[in-house]
Amino acid sequence: MSINALYKTSATATGGRDGKAETDDGSFSIKLGTPKELGGNGDGNNPEQLFASGFAACFLSAMKFVASQNKDLPAVPADASVNATVGIGLRSDKGFALAVALEVRMPGVDRSAAEALVAEADTVCPYSHATRGNIEVTLAVA
């Protein structure tokens, strides 16, 4: 790793989309299943669901972090949420690609202030860094 990691975790998958994945410390284990839309039976969770969950949680944490560091930004209300929609489809050249839409809800917060917070969170979220320039990601404040 080329970063000075503050935290590391490891997970192992077996069986691909119709197998299982678990963290090496045993704290997380999940049955995987290919979605019906991709030819599977839909029995189990899939990598896109895991990615959506991780991106949503990480982005909300990034919002809280930037709000705590910049008093010009609004505080993140307890009932704030981030919904991540992850799509998978065929690329025009070959293989598959992902696209992500993040929808942020901040009840009681002025829209322009919420948009400023979301824009700043996008500059620090590690998922945003990992995806920027690689896949389409759209941000919206609901």
**Digit-coded pLDDT (tens) for 63-91:** 999 999 999 999 999 999 999 999 999 99
* pLDDT-based confidence at residue 2 (cuts at 50, 70, 90): confident
Domains observed in the chain: 1-45 (2.20.25.10), 47-141 (3.30.300.20)
Beta bridge partners of 97: 89
Beta bridge partners of 82: 104
Global pTM value: 0.95
Q: 55: how many CB neighbours lie within 10 A of its CB?
A: 23
**Digit-coded pLDDT (tens) for 100-139:** 999 999 999 999 999 999 999 999 999 999 999 999 999 9
* Alpha carbons 2 and 6: distance in angstroms, whole number: 12
Mean pLDDT of 32-48: 96
Asked if the model's pLDDT at residue 1 lies above 90, the reply is no
Q: What is the CA radius of gyration of the chain?
A: 17
3-state SS, residue 75: coil
Q: Give the pair of three-digit tokens for residue 132.
A: 């920027």
> What end-to-end distance do the CA atoms of the chain give, in Å?
37
* Alpha carbons 102 and 69: distance in angstroms, whole number: 22
